[in-house]
Amino acid sequence: MKHLLNKSAIRRSAHRMITVTALCSLVLAGCGTSASTEKPAAGGAAPAAEQAKTAEKKVVAVTQVTNWFAQPEHGGQYAALKKGFYKDAGLDMTIQPGGPGISATQIVASGKADFGMGQGDEILFARQNGIPLVAVMAIFQKNPQALLFHKGQAIKGFSDLNGRKVYVGSGVAYWEYIKKAYKLDKVEELKYTGQLANFISDPTSVTQSYVTSEPFALKQQGVETDYLLNADSGYSPYGNVLFTTEKMIKEHPEVVKAYVEATIKGWDYYKDNYQEINEFIKEKNPDTPLDKMEFSAKAMSPFVYGDDAATKGVGYMTKNRWESLMKQLVEIGLLKSEIDVTKVFNTDFIPKK
């Protein structure tokens, strides 16, 4: 379990703000999408019209890179892969897992993958630095990132964090917003290392977390926890945003459409069939036990299927949400100037409800 806890915890530090140096070093390349034409079956028995239809059908090789090792937070994509939704859409799909030190934004920007997964603020940081990434759907309507504390502590709101040790990644956007919004000038800010031993040993401390992961792992060690959801602070970027490049959208809109529709179909399937898909995910990531996956699937359900998604469907995004996030990042100084958010996201490929 210690192994599980450490791997789960490391992910949190992977979601840091993209630096100008890293982004400016990228050289944009062409999208890696390729197509091959299927040949009609030999024998000449098929009608001419059917042969023509088969000849026109193309299978496109596509790669998407996630933000961590295979896990329920990617359940819809793995459902679409296992159930053949990508294949039915004409996509020969490869899901490339992320991990420590892997930046999906850099991989997609450089043309080594067609689609990636990240946080909403990451897309804005990329745009600021001239990297033309575009969000095409958001898996989490509400981000499950949170500040975790020991159950029973006198913490009712974010202002109660003053005077406490808080383990958090340096420069992460949500923490910069929360510090300023709630005047947290008496917090003892400590570097988040991916290890939770110090948090466990100090009942008054607080640590960054995902509500779909750390609470389960800590409970296995006898530590009961509670949390403040970052989204409830007023800072609420879309989470696990799926994105591509402007070039991909311009040159291969049919591929983007097929990808988004098949992914949404996968998430719709995962909602009621997560146990089946979790078995498939475990094949890709044997280190994560099924009971932990069960916890994650249930914990993340309202974040995926609630709020706007309840009526508009999985993946839905609005201009107001993106604009609000952009203005908040300008206010706290993480964006130099305002950005035209209509270029940051594109909902044209999401099926209308």
In tens, the pLDDT along 140-189 reads 999 999 999 999 999 999 999 999 999 999 889 999 999 999 999 999 99
Task: Say which residue the tokens 């490391």 belong to.
Answer: 10
- Strand runs (DSSP E) across the chain, as ranges? 34-37, 58-65, 91-96, 115-118, 133-140, 145-150, 165-168, 188-191, 206-210, 225-229, 239-245
- The pLDDT of residue 268 is 98
Q: What CA–CA distance (Å, rounded) separates 74 from 81?
A: 11
- pLDDT digits 0-9 by tens, 67-102: 999 999 999 999 999 999 999 999 999 999 999 889
The number of CA neighbours under 13 Å toward the Cβ of 290 is 8
Please check the confidence at residue 295 and state whether its pLDDT lies above 60: yes
DSSP, collapsed to helix, strand or coil, labels residue 331 as: helix
238 within 8 A of 321, measured Cβ to Cβ:
yes
Residues 6+ apart with CB under 8 A from 172: 15, 16, 17, 208
Does the reported pTM lie above 0.75? yes
* Range of lowest pLDDT (121-125, 189-193, 326-330): 189-193
- The pLDDT of residue 17 is 38
Q: What CA–CA distance (Å, rounded) separates 81 from 280?
A: 10
User: What's the token pair of residue 270?
Assistant: 């995962």
**Whose CA is closest to 246, among 62, 95, 104, 111?**
111
**Residues written for the chain:** 353
Q: For the chain, which domains are there?
A: 22-143+237-343 (3.40.190.10), 145-233 (3.40.190.10)
Q: How do strand 58-65 and strand 91-96 relate by DSSP bridges?
A: parallel
Please check the confidence at residue 297 and state whether its pLDDT lies above 80: yes
Q: What CA–CA distance (Å, rounded) separates 135 from 240?
A: 10
Q: What CA–CA distance (Å, rounded) separates 18 from 125?
A: 7
Backbone angles phi, psi at 305, to 5 degrees: -105, -5
